């Protein structure tokens, strides 16, 4: 029999905030999840240009150029550079847009699968606690360096490989961080919900993450706004876990009482 594991005074709020984001990326309509993933990949392709090109343009217009050039001549020179550079970037970026857009859809699928099936690589770090890497994060973090390394090796650019090795290793993790933030942002725009529904979705993941996936599986959590109560359905190992579940729900859905726990195991 599993023992009670929930301690009300010890709440991992950082985990809960992450869980809220993961819940939307797991329980929102699948089409929205995948479309948001594809859009995040597309935007990520153009994000460097949106950041770097304005900075370089401003430098060339205000600071660069020859000393005898007038303001209008500097502006024209900066515009000429911008048009040429953007044209060159666009010819390459159009293919990256298609590739990273499709890859973003696949990452959104893997992110959902990781959350609902607890498919995480968990790394325990002293300062940052437990780092959870889903299938999407693992694939991106480890595949990007491998692909870039193989490409440089094939191109016989070994001197570049040695110099850029640290940057290459970080590239996948940085890209994933950018993609995830874009995915979360787009999903918030596409799938807006009231506080109660958002919290209910988050608790479907938070409960097994807190008491253990072997102890609890949540299939549904209904919030009755009129009567201010909640009804949670799933499979829970024993009475202690049921009490944990009830306490967790009451902690995050403050003011909702009673919380009815429907254990499908005891009803079989």
Summarize the confidence of residues 20-47 as an average pLDDT: 92
Is 24 within the bounds of a domain?
A: no
Q: Could you tell me if 165 and 219 lie in one domain?
A: no
Distance of CA 31 to the CA centre of its chain: 17
- 193-244 confidence digits (pLDDT tens): 888 889 999 999 999 988 889 999 999 999 999 899 999 999 999 898 999 8
CATH number, domain at 226? Answer: 3.30.300.20
CB 264 within 8 A of CB 233: yes
pLDDT at 8 > cutoff 60: no
Pick from 171, 190, 209: which residue ends a domain? 190
* Dist. CA 132–CA 142, nearest whole Å: 15
Closest CA to 97 of 141, 180, 40: 40
Summarize the confidence of residues 17-40 as an average pLDDT: 93
pTM to 2 decimal places: 0.78
Pick from 159, 190, 221: which residue ends a domain? 190
Number of domains in the chain: 2
Residue range(s) defining the domain that contains residue 199: 195-263
pLDDT at 33 > cutoff 60: yes
Q: Find all residues with CB under 8 Å of 30, minimum gap 6, and list them.
A: 112
Q: Could you tell me if 42 and 152 lie in one domain?
A: yes
Q: Where are the alpha helices (DSSP H) in the chain?
A: 13-27, 30-62, 71-117, 135-154, 158-190, 195-211, 239-252
Q: Could you tell me if 158 and 209 lie in one domain?
A: no
């Amino acid at each position: 029999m599993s023992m009670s594991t929930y301690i009300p005074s010890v709440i991992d709020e950082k985990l809960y905030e992450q869980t809220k984001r993961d819940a939307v990326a797991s329980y929102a309509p699948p089409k929205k999840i995948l479309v948001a993933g594809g859009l995040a990949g597309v935007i990520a392709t153009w994000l460097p240009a949106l950041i770097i090109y304005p900075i370089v343009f401003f430098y060339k217009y205000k600071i660069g150029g020859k000393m005898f050039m007038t303001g209008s001549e500097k502006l024209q020179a900066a515009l000429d550079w911008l048009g040429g550079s953007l044209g060159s970037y666009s010819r390459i970026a159009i293919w990256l847009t298609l590739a990273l857009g499709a890859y973003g859809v696949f990452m959104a699928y893997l992110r959902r699968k990781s959350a609902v099936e607890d498919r995480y690589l968990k790394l325990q770090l002293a300062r940052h606690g437990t780092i959870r890497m889903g299938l999407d994060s693992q694939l991106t973090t480890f595949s990007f360096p491998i692909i870039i390394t193989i490409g440089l090796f094939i191109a016989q650019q070994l001197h570049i490989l040695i110099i850029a090795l640290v940057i290459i290793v970080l590239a996948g993790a940085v890209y994933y961080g950018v993609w995830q933030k874009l995915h979360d942002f787009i999903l918030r725009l596409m799938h807006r919900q009231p506080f109660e529904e958002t919290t209910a979705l988050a608790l479907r993941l938070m409960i097994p993450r807190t008491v253990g996936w072997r102890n609890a599986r949540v299939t549904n959590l209904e919030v009755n706004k009129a009567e201010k109560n909640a009804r949670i359905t799933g499979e829970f190992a024993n009475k202690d876990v049921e009490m944990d579940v009830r306490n967790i729900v009451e902690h995050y859905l403050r003011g909702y009482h009673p919380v009815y726990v429907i254990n499908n195991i005891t009803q079989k």
